[in-house]
């Protein structure tokens, strides 16, 4: 048998290690690295490190940069109700927004796997991300307009409300009776004098502009008595040639007016006036009656919800002024959160959807932790975003409710760049915001490193 010798690599049996790079080559490599990273490091220090250090130093000085005040700016901040309101609002954002944006992102991500037109659906949901936050705030400022003729949300709500409770034919007019009548609490007009069967009721009204009279109105006529009943007329009692309480030539009847006959036990009969304003209640029993113009005639249409107002969502009557400022949540904050959900839900959908697509279908049903990591990414990213949210608050909230929806970043801008321009106090706000963001950033870095 022939023996073939096996030759080992030099140093393989002795355990020796190949020498490293020559010192000259290592130096050249370090110089190349420094050459490429140096400009970036200088630029990073100029636009990030230096401003951060300078802001911390500036926070210990007063309005005049030459006056050292120590911690006075921080004591001023935490003693100001406006700053405490900003902290309260930021806390609401941090608690509410990341949860809901992750929830909607997860729902949308699952839907994209179950519908055929998933590409179009993704494009529609993600489209708001292509718009700047300030421009999105302008869009939602218009959507939230109180006037139903301008605001999309109030227009939709008004369609439903007006369908359930139709506005009156004579809504929005300041109607005043010319005869002895009084207005009930619900808005109805009732005659002061009682009427017996066989008499007539003259109900003259003023305060109705000619354009508010229905087009089918005809000249009013005095009613004829109805045996055993009560007849009447309701008309626009305004004529330069005549007097109040008398049907004069040229005065128009008010058609479509809902009229009730009120007895001691309640409503005895109802009627609607015709084109000449005439109405009648025939075949009445003996007794005393009053004529009433129903409140539905004057019911105003849906005027809109003030979505960007300071109306509180919680009872405030038992709280003092400071308590109302800190412990109540105005509607404008919820409106701003909803608008921001519209913007960021597409981002959450894409991130979570990428994680779901990488999962095996079997483990997806078991909801393993591999799929939860993308949700954590969304939550942490959104926490950082809402801690420093600024532009959408500035764009959506009107001046009257901006204080109620104030946040820390907006307070920093308002203190430093509006009014008296106290940069020392503004720097203290910036440092406080930085302290809040740093722990979340460190948590994110630790998660990335695994």
Residue 5 has pLDDT above 80, yes or no: no
8 Å CB contact between 317 and 409: no
Whole-number mean pLDDT of the chain? 85
Band (pLDDT 50/70/90 cuts) for residue 18 is very low
Q: Each residue of 321-350: pLDDT tens digit?
A: 555 566 778 899 999 999 999 999 999 998
Go through 222-238 and write b for each residue having 16 or more CB atoms within 10 A of its CB, e for each that does not. Answer: ebeebeebbbbbbbbbb
Question: C-alpha angle with apex 400: 396 to 401, nearest 5 degrees?
Answer: 55
- Please state, in angstroms and rounded to a whole number, the distance separating the CA atoms of residues 244 and 229: 25
Band (pLDDT 50/70/90 cuts) for residue 420 is confident
What was the pLDDT predicted at 358? 61
Q: Each residue of 97-152: pLDDT tens digit?
A: 999 999 999 999 888 888 888 889 989 999 999 888 899 999 999 999 999 989 99
The mean per-residue pLDDT over the stretch 422-444 comes to 90
What was the pLDDT predicted at 428? 94
Share of the chain above pLDDT 90, in %: 46
What are 78's two structure tokens?
Answer: 């935490």
**Domains delineated in the chain:** 72-156+312-449 (1.10.3720.10), 176-298 (2.60.40)
Q: Which of 21-25, 51-55, 110-114, 166-170 has the lowest mean pLDDT?
A: 21-25
Give the residue carrying structure tokens 């809902």: 258
Q: Each residue of 263-320: pLDDT tens digit?
A: 988 888 999 999 999 999 999 988 899 999 999 998 888 888 999 988 876 665 555 5
Q: Each residue of 179-228: pLDDT tens digit?
A: 899 988 888 999 999 999 999 999 999 988 888 899 999 999 999 999 99
Say what the pTM is. 0.76
What are 224's two structure tokens?
Answer: 């004829």
The residues facing 261 across adjacent strands are: 269, 291
Question: C-alpha angle with apex 24: 22 to 20, nearest 5 degrees?
Answer: 20
8 Å CB contact between 58 and 70: no
- The DSSP output letter for 282 is -
What are 359's two structure tokens?
Answer: 């999962």
- The DSSP output letter for 127 is G
- Please state, in angstroms and rounded to a whole number, the distance separating the CA atoms of residues 194 and 149: 43
């Amino acid at each position: 048998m022939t023996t073939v010798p096996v030759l080992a690599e030099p140093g393989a049996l002795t355990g020796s290690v190949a020498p490293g790079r020559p010192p000259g080559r290592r130096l050249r490599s370090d110089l190349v690295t420094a050459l490429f990273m140096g400009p970036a490091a200088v630029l990073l220090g100029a636009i990030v490190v230096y401003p951060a250090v300078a802001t911390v130093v500036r926070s210990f000085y007063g309005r005049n940069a030459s006056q050292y005040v120590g911690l006075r700016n921080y004591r001023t901040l935490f003693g100001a109700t406006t700053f405490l309101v900003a902290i309260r609002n930021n806390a609401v954002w941090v608690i509410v927004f990341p949860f809901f944006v992750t929830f909607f992102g997860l729902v949308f991500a699952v839907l994209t796997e179950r519908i055929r037109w998933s590409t179009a659906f993704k494009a529609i949901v993600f489209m708001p991300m292509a718009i700047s936050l300030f421009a999105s705030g302008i869009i939602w400022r218009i959507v939230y307009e109180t006037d139903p003729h301008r605001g999309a949300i109030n227009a939709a709500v008004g369609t439903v409300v007006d369908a359930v409770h139709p506005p009156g034919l004579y809504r929005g007019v300041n109607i005043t009776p010319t005869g002895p009548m009084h207005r009930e609490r619900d808005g109805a007009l009732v005659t002061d004098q009682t009427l017996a069967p066989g008499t007539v009721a003259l109900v003259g009204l003023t305060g109705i502009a000619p354009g508010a009279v229905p087009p089918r109105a005809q000249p009013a006529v005095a009613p004829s008595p109805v045996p055993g009943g009560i007849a009447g007329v309701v008309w626009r009692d305004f004529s330069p040639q005549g007097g109040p309480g008398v049907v004069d030539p040229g005065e128009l009847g008010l058609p479509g007016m809902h009229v009730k006959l009120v007895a001691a036990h309640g409503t005895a009969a109802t009627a609607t006036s015709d084109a000449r304003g005439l109405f009648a209640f025939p075949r009445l029993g003996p007794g005393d009656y009053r004529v009433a113009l129903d409140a539905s005639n004057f019911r105003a249409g849906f005027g809109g919800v003030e979505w960007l107002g300071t109306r509180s969502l919680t009872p405030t009557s038992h709280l003092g002024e400071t308590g109302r400022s800190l412990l109540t949540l105005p509607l404008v904050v919820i409106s701003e959160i909803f608008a921001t959900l519209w913007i960021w839900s597409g981002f959450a959908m894409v991130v979570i959807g990428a994680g779901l697509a990488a999962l095996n279908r079997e483990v997806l049903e078991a909801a393993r932790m591999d799929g939860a990591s993308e949700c954590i990414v969304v939550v942490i990213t959104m926490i950082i975003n809402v801690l420093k949210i600024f532009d959408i608050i500035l764009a959506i909230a009107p001046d009257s409710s901006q204080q109620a929806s104030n946040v820390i970043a907006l307070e920093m801008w308002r203190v430093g760049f509006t009014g008296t321009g106290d940069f020392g106090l503004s720097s203290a706000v910036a440092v406080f915001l930085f302290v809040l963001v740093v722990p979340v950033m460190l948590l994110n870095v630790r998660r990335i490193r695994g």
